[in-house]
Structure 1
């Protein structure tokens, strides 16, 4: 089932066209990951779908309606986003930060109701951050902070959650902790999860559906086996990848890779190739 999709989407920064005539379908109640080299439009796409930035042209449709015409609070009850580098006000406790997720439901002076408090406590509990409720967010570790931000997104009670590189700056254990939490939310809460990931093997392990972008266009979208393969990775990242199987999940994984030599068209292409080295570790 497709509740959310883009149609002929064009997004520009100044005179530079970043996303071009893009059609993307987001499967409902699934985990979708977006992959691609730096500068290909991944974060830009998320910002447009969540109405942080306006597209130059085209439409973004949710439940049969153009989101550009939706009221902000109405949309905020359907879509939550965790940006790439979220910043909180100094001195906020975890509980106070999570309470911001209740904004779409507040009226008048915005005082928290008993329902709001119940949802906040649930969001803290499900993300394993209840013990940090009265602790300053600044005093938490990177993984703990990331889980508190996810709790804030959950407190919005949306069925769709966007996350832009949720594992950035986290060590391997905390990366796995965050991704397993998102997978659990998808399986147990039926949340639709859309996230940008740089690590191809994490994308393959946790995604039901993968969208591979390059230069603002979809190279391939589909199940893991359709995207994490030698042909697609060559087109997207300009690498010669050796693909095997994850012994624990049986999903495809990139075992090793080489840069493809002699096909760089210009210095800009070479820079894009260089940036992808971290994506397959």
Structure 2
């Protein structure tokens, strides 16, 4: 089943096109990960799908409706997004920040209900941030702040959650905690999760579906086994990857890789030295 899709979407800034005629389908109630090199359009695509920025052409459809024509509050009850570099928490406590996730459910008076407070505490608890509820967000570490922002997205209680590099600033243990939390929300509550990740092995471990982008165009979309393969990674990242199997999940994993561009540059750099050496020898 597909509730969310893009049809021939192009997105740019001025005359520069970042996403080019992209048509993707997001599997419902699955975890989808978008991968690609820096500047390939991953974050831009997320912003266009969630209506943070406008697209120049094409359409984004949710439940058969064009999101550009959808009521903002109705859309906010269906989709939540955690940006790559969230801002705007200055002077707020963690609990106050998470309460912003309840905005779509508030009436004209903007008062929080008992249900709102229950959801806020739940979101803080599942992200391991309940102890920071009354602490200023500015006083938290980078990892603690990131988990509070994720709690705000969860408090929005949407079926679909977008996260742009949700493991940024987190150490390895907290990265795993966040990704396992998202996986649990997907499996137990059937939330549709769409996220951008840089770590290929994390993407392969937690995703059901992967979209690989290069220069704003889709190179490959499919299961982890279909996307995490040497030929796709060669085209997307310019690396020569050795792919094995994760012994715990049996999913593909990148064991090691060489940088193809770097090898070529090093080879070309060594050519004059080789000629000089050959000349001196003869």
TM-score (norm 1): 0.91
- Partner residue, 2:26: 26
- Partner residue, 2:168: 168
- Partner residue, 2:218: 218
- Partner residue, 1:102: 102
Bigger CA radius of gyration: 2
Q: How does 1:112-131 map to 2 (within 5 A)?
A: 112-131=112-131
Inter-partner Cα distance in structure 2 for 1:157 and 1:100: 12
Inter-partner Cα distance in structure 2 for 1:132 and 1:210: 34
Inter-partner Cα distance in structure 2 for 1:122 and 1:174: 18
Please list the CA deviations of residues 126-153 of structure 1 after superposition, one character each: whole Å capped at 9, or x if unmatched.
2222221111112222222222111111
- Displacement after TM superposition at 1:242 (Å): 0.6
Q: How many aligned residue pairs are there?
A: 264
Please list the CA deviations of residues 137-182 of structure 1 after superposition, one character each: whole Å capped at 9, or x if unmatched.
1222222222211111111110000000111222212211111111
Question: Does residue 15 of structure 2 align to residue 15 of structure 1?
Answer: yes
- Displacement after TM superposition at 1:263 (Å): 7.0
Question: Does residue 122 of structure 2 align to residue 133 of structure 1?
Answer: no
- Partner residue, 2:75: 75
SS across alignment from 2:23: strand
- Partner residue, 2:272: none
Inter-partner Cα distance in structure 1 for 2:4 and 2:14: 27
Inter-partner Cα distance in structure 2 for 1:259 and 1:123: 41
Inter-partner Cα distance in structure 2 for 1:263 and 1:212: 24
Inter-partner Cα distance in structure 2 for 1:241 and 1:90: 43
- More moved, 142-151 vs 194-203: 142-151
Inter-partner Cα distance in structure 1 for 2:7 and 2:115: 37
Please list the CA deviations of residues 45-69 of structure 1 after superposition, one character each: whole Å capped at 9, or x if unmatched.
0000000000000000000100000
SS across alignment from 1:33: strand
- Partner residue, 2:253: 253
Could you tell me which runs of 5 or more consecutive residues in structure 1 were left unpaired when the two chains were aligned: 265-281
- Partner residue, 2:86: 86
Inter-partner Cα distance in structure 2 for 1:123 and 1:203: 24
SS across alignment from 1:257: strand
Q: Is the 8 A contact 2:146 2:169 kept in 1?
A: no
Q: Is the 8 A contact 1:29 1:192 kept in 2?
A: yes
Could you tell me which runs of 5 or more consecutive residues in structure 2 were left unpaired when the two chains were aligned: 266-282
Q: Is the 8 A contact 1:88 1:97 kept in 2?
A: no
- Partner residue, 1:238: 238
- Partner residue, 1:277: none
Please list the CA deviations of residues 27-58 of structure 1 after superposition, one character each: whole Å capped at 9, or x if unmatched.
11111000001111000000000000000000
SS across alignment from 1:225: helix
- More moved, 246-255 vs 126-135: 126-135
- Partner residue, 2:62: 62
SS across alignment from 2:58: strand
Inter-partner Cα distance in structure 1 for 2:102 and 2:89: 17
- Partner residue, 1:190: 190
